[in-house]
Amino acid sequence: MKKRYENLNNIKNIKSFTDMLKWTKERRSKIKDLTVNIEQSPLKQIEKIKGNRNETSYTWIGHSTFLIQLKGLNILTDPVWAKRMGFQRRLTEPGIPLADLPEIDVVVISHGHYDHLDFPTLKKLQGNPHYFVPVGLKSLFLRKGYREVTEMRWWESAKIKGLTIDFVPAQHWTRRTLTDINTSHWGGFIFQGDKETLYFVGDTGYFSGFKEIGDLFEIDTVFMPIGAYEPEWFMSDSHINPEDSVKAFLELKAKIFVPMHYGAYRLADDTGPEALKRLYREWEKRQLPEEQLQVLLLGETALKTGVIL
């Protein structure tokens, strides 16, 4: 019997066939403008990124994929350059072509859903990256021929070349085949450098764990999902909405909010521009400092100081 992993507080992400039919009916009644999408950065720092082994920086590729440069390492989060997700075409091109990446040292995978774990992408990465994956996923990587793989449980810590990586909870679920639902876990990763701590949240609904994470770590920058929340009666257990993402940011006591998980794939009924509009509105409603919200264009690079290049 395979182990099945769960969320904190016994939160279930179970939807019935009737729920699916209800969502399908709702979707047919909605008119969404998919012609307006997230913009590409006009000033991409590809050559600077390739040569950077000193400065802390992060570049948004799209969806949940970032190139993070920290402690002299090139780190990729949930690398997905796929042109399609199921029957849906990708709405925006990745911010940097896969072939233009520097050699990758570390890859973290938040969970096994196809929009976060894409083996065709991994096969094309340059370098010999070490993979950090949730418990239950290592066997799949080994079957695919990957050997440099570390499996992590919630609250476990690992080190690689002076970088500390912690695996922390998220509220989600996972599945890649008809029979493997929740046979691996899900979560986020915290990267601790010498003077800065970055938190890649992964894929999650709003949950009580944010406060605990904020109490345990002094987080400088958080990469926070804001999209795939509509309809909320269906999605809220698994995908955080923009308003709750701001609430989570405040509970984390972080300094910089970088939104992600919006605008690349149509995984739900909301659009990228809609998610951003709600995020901006909530930020203004709470009267939070403008400089703490760092919305990146696709392919845009920022330094640890919050300066966008």
CA distance 30 to 219: 39
CA distance 288 to 272: 22
Residue keyed to tokens 């695919």: 144
Tell me the C-alpha to C-alpha distance, in Å, between residue 101 and each of 45, 75, 113, 127.
11, 11, 23, 10
Q: What pLDDT was estimated at residue 80? A: 98
Structure tokens at 248: 């989570």
Q: What pLDDT was estimated at residue 35? A: 85
Specify the DSSP element, H or E, that contains 272: helix 272-285
Determine the Cα angle at 53 with ends 48 and 59, to 5°.
55
Q: What pLDDT was estimated at residue 283? A: 98
CA distance 159 to 168: 15
Angle between helix 242-252 and 272-285 (nearest 10): 50
Phi, psi torsion values for 23, nearest 5 degrees:
-65, -45
Q: What pLDDT was estimated at residue 70? A: 96
CA distance 287 to 245: 15
The answer for 203, left when phi > 0, alpha when psi is -120 to 50, beta otherwise, is beta
Residues written for the chain? 309
| Residues 15-41: tens digit of each pLDDT | 878 888 888 888 777 888 888 899 999
Q: What pLDDT was estimated at residue 87? A: 83
In 3D space, the residue among 253, 172, 157 whose CA is nearest the CA of residue 207 turns out to be 172
CA distance 104 to 173: 27
Q: What pLDDT was estimated at residue 232? A: 93
Q: What pLDDT was estimated at residue 306? A: 59
Q: What pLDDT was estimated at residue 305? A: 56
Whether the CB-CB separation of 231 and 270 falls below 8 Å is answered with no
Q: 3-state DSSP helix/strand/coil percent for the chain, to nearest 5?
A: 25, 20, 55
Residues of the chain predicted below pLDDT 70: 304-309
pTM of the predicted structure, to 2 decimals: 0.96
200 three-class SS = strand
Phi, psi torsion values for 63, nearest 5 degrees:
55, -120
Of the options 3.40.50.300, 3.40.640.10, 3.60.15.10, 3.40.50.2300, the CATH number for the domain spanning 38-303: 3.60.15.10
